[in-house]
Amino acid sequence: MAEVVLETQALTMRFGGVVASDNVNFKLRARELRCLIGPNGAGKSTFFKCVTGLLTPTEGQVFMRGQETTGWMPHQIASLGVGIKTQTPNVMDNLSVFENIWLAARRFHSVDEAKHKAEAVIERLALNSIARSDLGNLAHGERQRVELGLVAVGDPWLVLLDEPAAGMSAEDVERMTEIIHELTKTAAVVIVEHDMQFIRSIAQTVTVFHQGAVLMEDHVDKVMSDETVRNVYLGKKAG
Amino acid sequence: MQDRMGKDVMTTLVVAGGLIWLLPQLVSTYTLTVLIIYGMLGFSLGLIWGFGGILCFGQAAFFGLGAYTYAIAAINIGESTLPMLIAILVPAIAALLLGAMMFYGRLTDVYLGVITLVVTLILFKFINSTAGPQFVIGTARLGGFNGIPGFQTLNVPGDPDAYIWGDAYYYVCAVMMVLVYLLVSALLRSSFGRIAVGIRENETRMSLMGYDVAARKTILFAIGAAIAGLAGALFANWGEIVTPGLFSLGQSAEIIIWCIVGGLGTRFGPILGAAGLAYLKFALGQQSLIDNTLITGLILVLFVLFLPKGLVPAISSLWKVSFARRSPSRVHQARRMRNRGRANG
């Protein structure tokens, strides 16, 4: 069995009286692709933010490659070699595509190496034609793709993506799927998503969240045909 | 890359050389000297605000701190070289401490403004209340609202009797300004500068890429304060007296107006804004028909309404548009230039 790269133990996050993340035990192995699904407000994004350091969990621990990272700052977690993409596109709007990707590469490489790395990633993601354009002038799908480039250029061993397919055209989603598959050759990937279509096309193992807790964790086909999961998605009471 | 850098340095030297030679034919060197000093002060805020996204309402605090540090050190030491260095160091260290507190405390935007504003106010009130004889540092009395007069002004390093004043002092200030400009240009071209611009654009993204945003902002803030401190020390030498007015809110607000009018995100904009508006204020001060703060306010309003990006970006985009029209094949290049414009100023 491959090494465990991400593990949470009894992770709990409370906002006042609301328990957004409830006693989550989660394990992810190297080069695994895992989707986190669940209806709105199920606690997927809160869990994601606790893992990436954007929030500090109220209780419980987070481990990455065996090292405890609970309460670390996002930049410390990213420095370990973890690539993170947030829900809303987080890019540098007034800088060019090249400059954006170069900045991401520079964190782990020297000036010249970063230039080569950035050029390679631009080539790989087919961004050549827009490499000199400012991010602010690009279409939503292109911005999402560039943000994936920012993540990929750091050669991460763990990639955390929050709703990468949100608001994208079918063609863009297809391209995104390819990129993600390529990432899984070297990294474990966690995708938070509620677009079932996308999940069906990409997922192997799926973790279902409901009311902050893990409802079930199984192969995508089993999850999709599960009565409880269907009820949760349709807003019925979970049996 | 190397090539572009050399070209940039050459352009800077040629333009600066031309201006340094030309301007004394139009304006007295005494006035020019203070315009350059204000230019440097505007430049310091232009660096941290325009390239680092740190809106500091208290740049005057570092300016005043530099001036007072110079005056106090000059009285105690009696020779100007070391006091000049201390006057750069003290504001930089103050900014490191203040910056670390603010940025590690994850303060942003408006809170940053409030804190820097309050620090300036505290310094202003404190210095104003130091009139009593008990407020002494070494042999220098702080002097309260009367300020500190009669300190050793700039001399040739190592020779306290060879004062640098008048035209010579103008050239010293001009050369200092060019040096600071070149150093900051090099900084902005370096990885540190490019990362700083990235942080201005999107802090969350930069920290998710693994950059320690707080540390980098603190360092940039301190560099800005060091430049403001140098400007303050030069101002002390020019005025031959330092007063609490240096820390005033009016002064702080003016620096922000200089940057907006001149053009944020450019190197030359804040210098032009500072020198231009300061000269206007000086010219308006010679008549009594209209109050000059009214004019400054009007200019700010007009710029915010009609030229929100400021003078330099407006002129350069106008120039590029007409340049591109003449040779269509250059349109693409012009667009590239524009894209690069914000990063390079």
- Residue B12's pLDDT is what? 94
Sequence spans of domains, chain B: 28-246
Label residue A232 by pLDDT band (50, 70, 90): confident
The answer to whether residue B240 scores a pLDDT higher than 70 is yes
Label residue A239 by pLDDT band (50, 70, 90): very low
The answer to whether residue B334 scores a pLDDT higher than 60 is no
Q: Which residue has the tokens 């050459």?
A: B10
Contact A92 B201 (CB under 8 A): yes
Q: Which residues of B touch A94 (CB under 8 A)?
A: 201, 342
pLDDT in tens, B154-203: 999 999 999 999 999 999 999 999 999 999 999 999 999 999 999 999 99
Residues B345 and B184 sit within 8 Å (Cβ to Cβ): no
- Residue B277's pLDDT is what? 94
Tell me which range, A74-88, A163-177, B283-297, is most confidently predicted by mean pLDDT. Answer: A74-88
Contact B208 A78 (CB under 8 A): yes
Q: Which residue intervals of chain B are DSSP H helices?
A: 2-22, 29-45, 59-77, 81-104, 109-128, 167-189, 191-201, 203-208, 213-239, 249-262, 268-284, 292-306, 311-326, 331-344
- Residue B343's pLDDT is what? 46
pLDDT in tens, A87-124: 888 899 999 999 999 999 999 999 999 999 999 999 98
Q: Which of B207, B217, B333 to mutate to test the interface with A (most CBs of A within 10 A)?
A: B207
Q: How far is B257 from chain A (nearest CA, A)?
A: 23
Report long-range pairs for B95-99 (Cβ below 8 Å, ≥24 apart): B95/B62, B95/B221, B95/B222, B95/B224, B95/B225, B95/B226, B96/B218, B96/B219, B96/B221, B96/B222, B98/B221, B99/B217, B99/B218, B99/B219, B99/B221, B99/B222
Percent of chain B with pLDDT over 90: 79
Q: Which residues of A touch B207 (CB under 8 A)?
A: 73-75, 78
Tell me which range, A226-230, B30-34, B133-137, is most confidently predicted by mean pLDDT. Answer: B30-34
Q: How far is B103 from chain A (nearest CA, A)?
A: 13
Which comes out higher in pLDDT, residue B169 or A193?
B169
Taking residues B98-114, what's their average pLDDT?
89
Which comes out higher in pLDDT, residue A119 or A202?
A119
**Which stretches does DSSP call E strand in chain A?**
4-15, 18-29, 33-37, 59-64, 67-68, 82-85, 158-162, 188-192, 205-210, 213-219
Which comes out higher in pLDDT, residue B235 or B318?
B235
Label residue B272 by pLDDT band (50, 70, 90): very high
What does the alpha-carbon distance between residue A30 and residue A4 come to, in Å, rounded to a whole number? Answer: 6
Contact B208 A134 (CB under 8 A): no
- Residue B222's pLDDT is what? 98
Q: Which of B209, B217, B266 to mutate to test the interface with A (most CBs of A within 10 A)?
A: B209
**Token digits of residue B156:** 């040739």
Helix (H, G, I), strand (E, B) or coil at A128: helix
Percent of chain A with pLDDT over 90: 60
The answer to whether residue B289 scores a pLDDT higher than 70 is yes
What does the alpha-carbon distance between residue A199 and residue A209 come to, in Å, rounded to a whole number? Answer: 14
Paired with A13 in beta bridges are A21
pLDDT in tens, B209-224: 999 999 999 999 999 9
- What domains lie within chain A, and their CATH numbers? 4-233 (3.40.50.300)
Chain A with chain B: Cβ pairs closer than 8 A: 73
Contact A93 B194 (CB under 8 A): no
In the DSSP assignment, the letter for residue A89 is -
Residue A22 CB-half CA count within 13 A: 13
Label residue B326 by pLDDT band (50, 70, 90): low
**Token digits of residue B178:** 């060019």
> Which has the minimum average pLDDT: B141-145, B171-175, B263-267, B287-291?
B287-291
Taking residues B25-50, what's their average pLDDT?
96
**Residue B165 identity:** W
Q: Which residues of B touch A107 (CB under 8 A)?
A: 209-211
Label residue B330 by pLDDT band (50, 70, 90): very low
Q: How far is B197 from chain A (nearest CA, A)?
A: 9
What does the alpha-carbon distance between residue B170 and residue B273 come to, in Å, rounded to a whole number? Answer: 19
Residues B94 and B65 sit within 8 Å (Cβ to Cβ): yes
Q: How far is A231 from chain B (nearest CA, A)?
A: 36
Q: Which residue has the tokens 């306290």?
A: B160
Taking residues A156-160, what's their average pLDDT?
95
- Residue B327's pLDDT is what? 47
Taking residues B104-132, what's their average pLDDT?
91
Contact A107 B211 (CB under 8 A): yes
What does the alpha-carbon distance between residue A229 and residue A217 come to, in Å, rounded to a whole number? Answer: 11
- Residue A235's pLDDT is what? 65
Contact A90 B211 (CB under 8 A): no
Contact B210 A134 (CB under 8 A): no
Q: How far is B188 from chain A (nearest CA, A)?
A: 14
Taking residues B305-327, what's their average pLDDT?
83
Q: Which residues of B touch A103 (CB under 8 A)?
A: 194-195, 198, 206, 209
Q: Which of A90, A112, A155 to mutate to test the interface with B (most CBs of B within 10 A)?
A: A90
- Residue B328's pLDDT is what? 46
Label residue B207 by pLDDT band (50, 70, 90): very high
The answer to whether residue A146 scores a pLDDT higher than 80 is yes
Taking residues A163-172, what's their average pLDDT?
83
The answer to whether residue A2 scores a pLDDT higher than 70 is yes
Q: Which of B198, B210, B339 sits opposite A75 (nearest CB)?
A: B210
- Residue B324's pLDDT is what? 66
pLDDT in tens, A34-53: 999 888 888 888 999 999 99
- Residue A35's pLDDT is what? 92
Label residue A172 by pLDDT band (50, 70, 90): confident
Q: How far is B332 from chain A (nearest CA, A)?
A: 10
The answer to whether residue B237 scores a pLDDT higher than 90 is yes
- Residue B325's pLDDT is what? 56
Which comes out higher in pLDDT, residue A202 or B214?
B214
Shortest CA distance from A130: residue in chain B: B336
Taking residues A67-83, what's their average pLDDT?
94
**Residue B162 identity:** A
Q: Which of B191, B207, B340 sits opposite A74 (nearest CB)?
A: B207
Shortest CA distance from A106: residue in chain B: B191
Label residue B250 by pLDDT band (50, 70, 90): confident
Tell me which range, A65-74, A166-175, B228-237, B248-257, is most confidently predicted by mean pLDDT. Answer: B228-237
Residue A211 buriedness (CB in 10 A; 0-12 / 13-18 / 19+): middle
Contact B210 A133 (CB under 8 A): no
Those residues of chain B whose CB sits closer than 8 Å to some CB in chain A are 191, 194-195, 197-198, 201-202, 204-213, 335-336, 339-340, 342-343
User: How confident is the prediction for chain A on average, in pLDDT?
Assistant: 89
Contact A93 B202 (CB under 8 A): yes
